[in-house]
Amino acid sequence: MARPFRFGVNLLTLESAEAWRGKCRHAEQLGYDVLLTPDHLGNPAPFPALATAAEATERPRLSTFVLNAGFWNPALLAREVATCDALTDGRLELGLGAGYVKAEHDSAGLPFGSPRERVDHLVHTVAELDRLLTDSEHRPRSTQTPRPPLLLGGNGDRLLRLAARHADIAAFTGAVQPADKPQGTLQLISPEALEGRVTAFRRFAAEAGRIDEGDDAIELNYLIQMVGPTDDRRAKARELAPYAPDLTEDQLLEHPALLVGDAKEMAGQLRAHRERFGFSYFTVLEHNMEAFAPVIEELHGS
């Protein structure tokens, strides 16, 4: 039996406290299951933004999407996580990644490190969070036990192995850093390559003794980059072409990053992605929040 859909919106802008609360309430009214915040310089600070979102809403879960582990000391992060989980009445989900934007590290005066070093720090962070948040003596205490659900996002084997061992939710980027592009540039991989990444993840999960069925199965997430209501799907696909110069239009139209058509067509695409890739938790960016709402309505309860 297919896992039920969940839908999240990644909220990126902060104009005022009143506007933030109103936006969160509106997202809840539109049917979003999760309100998320990124961890980039220039965006709102994740934990106070989520705590405020919790005060303004009743139903949605609250999540970071995703914290850049390189910005955080694990012990201080454990304090933030436990505090935010308590202040949100146990609605927090913790998303973590290795980080990929060197310019942000430079601006913050923090070392960026090689890909291996960044993943090393993420591995250490996950281990320390598990140790601290599951320790009955740790203060403050989180509301959820043994800890808030953990989302890990990435694409490479090492990160997927880490997610297979520790994550409750695995988020697939479906993109890579091209060798000939500036640092922080991401380029979509093909649907076939993405399917290969999911297959590899499932193999890693099996090796780790994680089951792949029922409520205890690891939930799979994907971030949709474009939501385009249209009667010309190929024209919308061409808009995304610069982010995937090696992909054909047909491959773009099959890709979970691109969701185009009318609400029924887009709902059908998500059902197909759930069947092919196993993705049941889809996230959209704030500017796509309204356009995606009719799709949520189409898929409600499925």
The per-residue pLDDT for range 108-132, each reduced to its tens digit, is 999 999 999 999 999 999 999 999 9
- pTM exceeding the 0.85 threshold for the entire prediction: yes
In a domain, 262, yes or no: yes
What local confidence, expressed as pLDDT, does residue 94 receive? Answer: 98
pLDDT band at 244 (very low <50, low <70, confident <90, very high): confident
pLDDT of 27 higher than 70: yes
Largest CA distance in the chain: 58
* Displacement of CA 203 from its chain's centroid (Å): 21
Q: What is the spatial distance between Cα 25 and Cα 36, in angstroms, rounded to a whole number? A: 13
User: For the chain, how many structural domains are there in total?
Assistant: 1
Model confidence over 186-238: pLDDT tens digits? Answer: 788 999 999 999 999 999 999 999 977 766 789 999 999 999 999 898 988 88
Could you give the 3-state DSSP secondary structure of residue 281?
A: strand
Q: What is the spatial distance between Cα 68 and Cα 93, in angstroms, rounded to a whole number? A: 15
What local confidence, expressed as pLDDT, does residue 243 receive? Answer: 75
Q: Checking DSSP bridges between strand 61-64 and strand 34-37, what pairing results, if any?
A: parallel
Q: What is the spatial distance between Cα 37 and Cα 16, in angstroms, rounded to a whole number? A: 16
What local confidence, expressed as pLDDT, does residue 75 receive? Answer: 98
In a domain, 284, yes or no: yes
List all residues 6 or more positions away from 217 whose beta carbon is below 8 Å from its beta carbon. Answer: 3, 210, 211
Determine contact, residues 277/222, Cβ cutoff 8 Å: yes
pLDDT of 287 higher than 90: yes
What local confidence, expressed as pLDDT, does residue 175 receive? Answer: 83
Of 142, 155, 153, 150, the C-alpha closest to 168 is 150
* Displacement of CA 262 from its chain's centroid (Å): 24
In a domain, 186, yes or no: yes
In a domain, 1, yes or no: no
Of 164, 191, 168, the C-alpha closest to 94 is 168
Model confidence over 138-158: pLDDT tens digits? Answer: 999 999 999 999 999 889 999
In a domain, 250, yes or no: yes
In a domain, 77, yes or no: yes
CATH of the domain at 221: 3.20.20.30
In a domain, 169, yes or no: yes
Q: State which residues form the domain around 221.
A: 6-299
Q: For residue 29, count other CB atoms closer than 10 A to its CB.
A: 11
Phi, psi of 121 (to 5 degrees): -65, -40
Determine contact, residues 172/155, Cβ cutoff 8 Å: yes
